[in-house]
Structure 1
Amino acid sequence: MLTLRPGEESRRILRLAVPAFLALVAEPLFLLADSAIIGHLGTGQLAGLGVASATLLTAANLFVFLAYGTTSIVARQVGAGSERGAVEAGIDGTWLAVALGGVVAVATALAAEPLCRLFGSSEAALGYATTYLRISSAGIPAMLVALAATGVLRGLQDTRTPLVASVAGFTSNIVLNLALVYGLGWGIAGSAWGTVIAQTGMATGLVVVLVRHARRAGAHLSPHPGRVLQAAVTGIPLLVRTLALRAILLVTTWVAAGMGDVPLAAHQVAATVWSFLVFALDALAIAAQALTGKALGAGDVPAARSATGTMVRWGVWGGAVLGVLLLSVHTVVPAAFTDDEAVRSALAAALVVVALGQPLSGFVFVVDGVLIGAGDGRWLAKAMVVTLVLYLPIVLAVHASASALLGDGGVAGQARALSVLWVAFTAFMAIRGALFWWRVRGDQWAVTGAAR
């Protein structure tokens, strides 16, 4: 059993969480810059980018288990003292990313127009969206390889290399966009090609680092069909978890859309703010994945529980601080997004609920990371499906009472309706938190050994 000196546990957590946080924050900031470049081409191009990027990110995020699941498996091997086993497990996950990426890329390119048409955008925006999605689909294999390689490095307790790769990748993306969109006059197609080139470069850099680890550990680089298939099967529970979570987010947006343009616009911004705050809390979740997997791989349950307790406290207090900060500016933030007074009012009301729910979010995201690190994917999948089933009656009740909540459709009614929807969404987080609390207080998640 490993006994840590006072303060050492905190330093280990910070050593993983801080670079992870910076990498997570870098992505939305550079994506905003990307949108600004396209936005100066025209409204149609920007709308097309919105449709295409939503489709592209959905296709990639469905396979986030390539990062999360790989982190858990690799960290367990590290804890068990097998660097070679850790790296070979990561290589199997990377080969799986190549296979999945190829299939998804071809399917997305062939179905680009029908997929974009589902959003109901104008014909002009549809044309731009189809062009962008068809070209950028070529970068999907690189996106998935980057996810897998990042998961391997996190499992090896290295979050600095993914940070460097993220900053380099997103910076080059901006430079390429400026050169291709404006310099060569390729328009939105230039932005798509810039994205593909940047993603490929980022994935290549991460793979180079992974190969160095493999050579140092004496690990085989060739794919092992049986282990690659096992990696795919292992990822299914996390895929189910992600699908259920996406369903919850989509049905919430659907209810907001039924309330009218003003609540929908305000909801989109509130959801963006919520997502941005999640990036900060998710850094602790990434540290939780790596540290939990390593501790359980070493057979050290007390260390896993100690780190969990520390990170949960940090998550809750971090969420509380973020909540207080958001409350202090909840009437100021809306002005940065819209000039519409009705949208501002609805958004300000929603942000109050978002702020109050941040301590709960801190708990949920940290424990989610702990359970992913423990390889508790099957339970996570079941819990998310149960959460979806329990949440649907709540959110559908809000949908059914939308007319009463909106009243005469004035500003006050729109703010009230959106606030109630966000209270319902917070109930989803509360259900998830209750299930997580029940699970983590027991011992069934804390399975030790090099493999779960």
Structure 2
Amino acid sequence: MPSHYTHILALAFPLILSNLTVPLLGAVDTAVVGHLPDPAYIGGVAVGGTIFSFLFWGFGFLKMGTVGFTSQAFGAKNLPEQQASFLRPMLLALFFGFLLILLQGPLLQLCIHLIDGSAEVQQLALQYSTIRIWSAPIALSNYVIIGWLIGKGEPKLTFILQVIINSVNILLDLIFVIQFEWGVEGVSLATVIAEVVGFAVGLWIILKKSNFFSNKIDWQNVWLRSHILALFTVNRDIFIRTLCLIFSFAYFTRLGAGMGDEILAANAVLMHFLYFSAYGLDGFAHAAEITTGHAKGRNDNIEFKNAVKASSVMAFLTSIIFVAVFYLFGQLIVGLFTDIPSVQSTASEFIYWPIIMPLLSVAGFQFDGIFIGTTRTADLRNAMIQSLFIFLLSAWLFVPLWGNHGLWLAMAIYMATRGLTLLRYYPGLLKSIGQNP
């Protein structure tokens, strides 16, 4: 196996394991309430989770922007910038986190109203959200910690941190919901405690297990105006891109909620297929972020091409494995999430849509990693806006005709379009590497 393939695999494998703990946690959240007697519990957690996809993943630029700047700083061996690439977004994360807590009342009410759902689902979602919101500063800070470790090229440390966060969360899920019978409030409280544990462990890893303090911090460089403006430009673009992505999933949830609690619950179960494949394939996207960022830091066109080719080939082969696993074990997986017969039956009717999704979405995930690693975020933003427009148009056309099948068709078109729209911008990116030493 060529050395660049070996390097990608060494980076991607622990990142895949690390990423898969995230949808595993969501799966456990769904499973522990999926065995309660009413499908509204699944809907409540699904709506609550969607709300925090809006409120927290709207700030996902804190992770993605950190990866890009950090990988380039380490590629260029710029020690002051390696420190600054952590400190600048961390200050932003704390500011935005406390702002979310201050604005929680109107924000949560607005989100629950927009997503809709039955009165019982809305009430359960509100119970979930009023607890989860208090983790905002810590949750956003964890994005920065994980982004910095990924950008530094420390997949094993990233894996350890993610496993700790999600293991604590899963354990507390089982205790709070099954043992103490706290319902959706127990699911939310478990997440808050796990985020706090992860923050403490993450800071310890960075301060004790890296050379962060090998040089005195250059605070003048941290506050350098041109670098702060670059950070805000990149983060603005990623913020718009992420909002478009989150909106599409929230709109999917809202349309499903309008079809009844059984459809909402079934779609929530089936979306975990998509989450598992997305987070798994993101391991190769993260590897692409690291290697293409290092290549840009060194301005090396050959290294860049090798990184793109190796990560993309291995991601495509992995997507085929996901399709095979979902096809063979899909019904079994649905049964693990819920024992409610109506939800199982409804999920079985639509199960082939998420089975084919890994093949449709792999190109979009790979290009995300490539464009984030090289901080070509304006292209990323523009492509996502175009993809969202096509998704909304598809939903408008197909949902009235075919109901939930039409909704899943629109999602399939959306995932494929994400890759196709970014493909248009790739030649310009390729020309920019190695052309301006």
TM-score bracket for the superposition, by shorter chain length: 0.7 to 0.9
The answer to which of 362-371 and 181-190 deviates more is 181-190
AA at the equivalent of 2:166: F
Q: CA deviation at 1:432?
A: 2.4
Once residues 392 and 114 of structure 1 are traced to their aligned partners in structure 2, the CA distance between those partners, rounded to angstroms, is: 21
AA at the equivalent of 1:433: G
Once residues 175 and 338 of structure 1 are traced to their aligned partners in structure 2, the CA distance between those partners, rounded to angstroms, is: 19
Instruction: State whether structure 2 residue 421 is matched by structure 1 residue 423.
Output: no
Once residues 136 and 341 of structure 1 are traced to their aligned partners in structure 2, the CA distance between those partners, rounded to angstroms, is: 30
Once residues 169 and 242 of structure 1 are traced to their aligned partners in structure 2, the CA distance between those partners, rounded to angstroms, is: 23
Alignment-derived partner of residue 132 in structure 2:
136
Instruction: State whether structure 2 residue 425 is matched by structure 1 residue 439.
Output: yes
Once residues 339 and 174 of structure 2 are traced to their aligned partners in structure 1, the CA distance between those partners, rounded to angstroms, is: 29
AA at the equivalent of 1:367: F
Once residues 120 and 253 of structure 2 are traced to their aligned partners in structure 1, the CA distance between those partners, rounded to angstroms, is: 24
Alignment-derived partner of residue 22 in structure 1:
17
Alignment-derived partner of residue 408 in structure 1:
none
The answer to which of 202-211 and 37-46 deviates more is 37-46
Q: CA deviation at 1:275?
A: 1.8
What are the superposed Cα offsets for residues 322-353 of structure 1, whole Å, 9 maximum, x if unpaired? 22332334555555556677765664453334
Once residues 40 and 352 of structure 1 are traced to their aligned partners in structure 2, the CA distance between those partners, rounded to angstroms, is: 23
Instruction: State whether structure 2 residue 43 is matched by structure 1 residue 57.
Output: no
Instruction: State whether structure 2 residue 377 is matched by structure 1 residue 401.
Output: no
CA distance 1:49–1:253, change in 2 (3 Å) = closer
Q: How does 1:52-451 map to 2 (within 5 A)?
A: 52-108=48-104, 111-113=107-109, 115-116=111-112, 118-120=114-116, 129-176=125-172, 192-212=188-208, 213-220=211-218, 224=223, 226=225, 227-228=227-228, 230-257=230-257, 263-330=263-330, 333-337=333-337, 347-348=347-348, 350-402=350-402, 417-440=403-426, 442-444=427-429, 447-448=432-433
Is the CA contact 1:244–1:385 (under 8 Å) kept in the aligned structure 2? yes
AA at the equivalent of 2:17: L
Is the radius of gyration larger for structure 1 or structure 2?
A: 1
The answer to which of 131-140 and 87-96 deviates more is 131-140
CA distance 1:269–1:179, change in 2 (3 Å) = closer
Alignment-derived partner of residue 405 in structure 1:
none
> 3-state SS of the aligned residue for 1:216?
coil
Q: CA deviation at 1:209?
A: 2.9
Q: CA deviation at 1:446?
A: 5.5
Let me know the Cα RMSD of the aligned residues. Answer: 3.4
CA distance 1:281–1:243, change in 2 (3 Å) = same
Q: CA deviation at 1:430?
A: 2.9
Higher relative contact order (CA 8 A, sep 6+): 2
Is the CA contact 2:364–2:419 (under 8 Å) kept in the aligned structure 1? yes
> 3-state SS of the aligned residue for 1:13?
helix
AA at the equivalent of 2:429: Q
Once residues 358 and 302 of structure 2 are traced to their aligned partners in structure 1, the CA distance between those partners, rounded to angstroms, is: 28
Is the CA contact 2:291–2:307 (under 8 Å) kept in the aligned structure 1? yes
AA at the equivalent of 1:25: L
Q: CA deviation at 1:120?
A: 4.5
CA distance 1:108–1:159, change in 2 (3 Å) = farther
CA distance 1:161–1:335, change in 2 (3 Å) = closer
> 3-state SS of the aligned residue for 1:444?
helix
Q: Which runs of 5+ in 1 are unaligned?
A: 1-5, 403-416
TM-score by structure 1 length?
Answer: 0.82
Once residues 171 and 358 of structure 2 are traced to their aligned partners in structure 1, the CA distance between those partners, rounded to angstroms, is: 36
AA at the equivalent of 1:422: W
Alignment-derived partner of residue 13 in structure 1:
8
Once residues 183 and 332 of structure 2 are traced to their aligned partners in structure 1, the CA distance between those partners, rounded to angstroms, is: 35
> 3-state SS of the aligned residue for 2:425?
helix
CA distance 1:446–1:170, change in 2 (3 Å) = farther
> 3-state SS of the aligned residue for 1:76?
helix
TM-score by structure 2 length?
Answer: 0.85
What are the superposed Cα offsets for residues 363-420 of structure 1, whole Å, 9 maximum, x if unpaired? 2211221111111110111111112223332221103324xxxxxxxxxxxxxx5444
CA distance 1:128–1:356, change in 2 (3 Å) = closer
CA distance 1:35–1:149, change in 2 (3 Å) = same
> 3-state SS of the aligned residue for 2:59?
coil
Q: CA deviation at 1:21?
A: 1.2
Once residues 346 and 250 of structure 2 are traced to their aligned partners in structure 1, the CA distance between those partners, rounded to angstroms, is: 20
> 3-state SS of the aligned residue for 1:215?
coil
Q: How many pairs are equivalent?
A: 431
Q: CA deviation at 1:135?
A: 3.0
What are the superposed Cα offsets for residues 75-118 of structure 1, whole Å, 9 maximum, x if unpaired? 11111121331221221111111111111222125644554455
Once residues 49 and 376 of structure 1 are traced to their aligned partners in structure 2, the CA distance between those partners, rounded to angstroms, is: 35
Once residues 112 and 410 of structure 2 are traced to their aligned partners in structure 1, the CA distance between those partners, rounded to angstroms, is: 30
CA distance 1:221–1:136, change in 2 (3 Å) = farther
Is the CA contact 2:169–2:194 (under 8 Å) kept in the aligned structure 1? yes
